[in-house]
């Protein structure tokens, strides 16, 4: 990474010691997780950050990555920052119709592992980084306790019908323990593998690729939970939000829903 040269570059820009440390960390974190610098991998890194950190932290990491790209003279690969929650709508959330169509298509095509991955993403509110940690034992007990960065324990519940169907699938696979979702080599699946395959399905099943990313299903779960009468405070606990304000975004409508409401009401 030419760390010393990059650090000298930052110092010439007169950044504070804290900013320099932060920017060096961001560049190192990217290289450690994604290695080669490509537009796709930068986008994957951004998705990874969104799955695991607050918007403020995400943008701080992206600021560091931006400076690193400028240092390498790769201005065409600059990452896109995340807008603070100020919109009056939700963006890029998979619709109920596309969600059901995707599940039916995967089941029909006997892509059962991916059928269940989509079901778990859409029915539990789990982050993709947490999804890959789920084990067969968690399915049997109907929940998983996840430890967050601050040491706080959050319980992820597996709906009874999903638990029943998953156990039937596992029985057919002759699996009784270990990680729930495996890759083609029989090892724990990766978050990148899930993200890439979801994008693949967007072209196969003609679903908007912008809505086929892991975090979209977390939005889908939260939005539907509230629409079905779920309590917003309980939802905040289910999602692991520190602040209720973060959860309030799910009270908003998607752009398409807003259009539909306007077109239904405004007839003058």
Taking only the tens place, the pLDDT of each residue in 91-118 is 678 989 999 999 999 999 999 999 999 9
pLDDT for the residue numbered 4:
74
Q: Note the pLDDT tens digit of each residue in 238-260.
A: 888 777 777 777 776 666 666 67
What angle (nearest 5°) sits at the alpha carbon of residue 59, between those of residues 37 and 236? 120
CA 164 to CA 254: how far, in whole Å? 32
Average pLDDT value for residue range 8-19: 86
pLDDT greater than 90 at residue 2: no
Q: Determine the topology of domain 90-265 in CATH.
A: hpI Integrase; Chain A (1.10.443)
> What is the per-residue DSSP string for the chain?
--HHHHHHHHHHTT--HHHHHHHHHHHHHHHHHH-S--HHHHHHHHHHHHHHS-HHHHHHHHHHHHHHHHHTT-GGGPPPPPPPS--SEE-SPPPHHHHHHHHHHHHHTT-HHHHHHHHHHHHH---HHHHTT-BHHHHHHTEEEEE-TTS-EEEEE--HHHHHHHHHHHHHTT--SSBSSB-TTSSBPPHHHHHHHHHHHHHHTT--GGG-SHHHHHHHHHHHHHHTT--HHHHHHHHT-SSHHHHGGGGSEEHHHHHHHHHHH---
What does the domain layout of the chain look like in residue ranges?
Answer: 3-77, 90-265
Residue with tokens 């905040």: 236
Q: Which residue has the higher pLDDT, 45 or 114?
A: 114
Q: Distance between alpha carbon 60 and the CA centroid of its chain, in Å?
A: 18
Pick the CATH number of 3-77 from 1.10.1040.10, 3.40.50.2000, 1.10.150.130, 3.30.160.100: 1.10.150.130
Which whole number is the average pLDDT over 158-174? 96
Q: How many residues does the chain have?
A: 268
Q: How many CB atoms lie within 10 A of CB 2?
A: 10
pTM over 0.75? The answer is no
Over pLDDT 90: what percentage of the chain?
47
User: In this model, does residue 144 exceed pLDDT 50?
Assistant: yes
Kindly state the percentage of the chain with pLDDT values over 70.
Answer: 89
Tokens standing for residue 179: 């990680």
Q: Which residue is it, tokens 């090892």?
A: 187
CA 184 to chain centre: 22
The 10s digit of each residue's pLDDT in 184-238 is 999 999 988 999 999 999 999 999 988 898 988 998 998 888 888 888 888 888 8
Inter-residue contact 236 to 244 (CB < 8 Å)? yes
């Amino acid at each position: 990474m030419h760390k010393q040269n990059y650090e000298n570059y930052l110092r010439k820009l007169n950044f504070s010691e804290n900013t320099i440390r932060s920017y060096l960390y961001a560049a190192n974190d990217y290289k450690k997780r994604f290695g080669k610098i490509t537009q796709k991998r930068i986008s994957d890194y951004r998705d990874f950050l969104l799955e695991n950190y607050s918007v403020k932290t995400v943008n701080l990491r992206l600021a560091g990555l931006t400076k690193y790209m400028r240092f390498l003279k790769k201005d065409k690969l600059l990452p896109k920052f995340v807008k603070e929650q100020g919109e009056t709508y939700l963006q890029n959330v998979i619709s109920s119709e596309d969600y059901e169509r995707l599940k039916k298509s995967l089941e029909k095509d006997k892509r059962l592992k991916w059928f269940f991955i989509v079901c778990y993403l859409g029915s539990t509110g789990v982050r993709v980084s947490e999804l890959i940690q789920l084990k067969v034992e968690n399915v049997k007990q109907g929940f998983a306790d996840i430890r967050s960065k601050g040491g706080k324990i959050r319980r992820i519940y597996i709906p009874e019908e999903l638990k029943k169907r998953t156990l039937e699938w596992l029985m057919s696979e002759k699996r009784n323990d270990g990680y729930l979702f495996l890759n083609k080599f029989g090892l724990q699946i990766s978050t990148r593998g899930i993200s890439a395959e979801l994008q693949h399905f967007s072209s196969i099943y003609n679903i908007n690729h912008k809505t086929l990313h892991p975090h979209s299903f977390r939005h889908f779960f939260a939005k539907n939970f509230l629409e079905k009468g779920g309590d917003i405070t309980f939802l905040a606990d289910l999602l692991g939000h520190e602040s209720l304000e973060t959860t309030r975004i799910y009270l908003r409508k998607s752009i398409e829903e807003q259009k539909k409401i306007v077109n239904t009401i405004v007839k003058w």
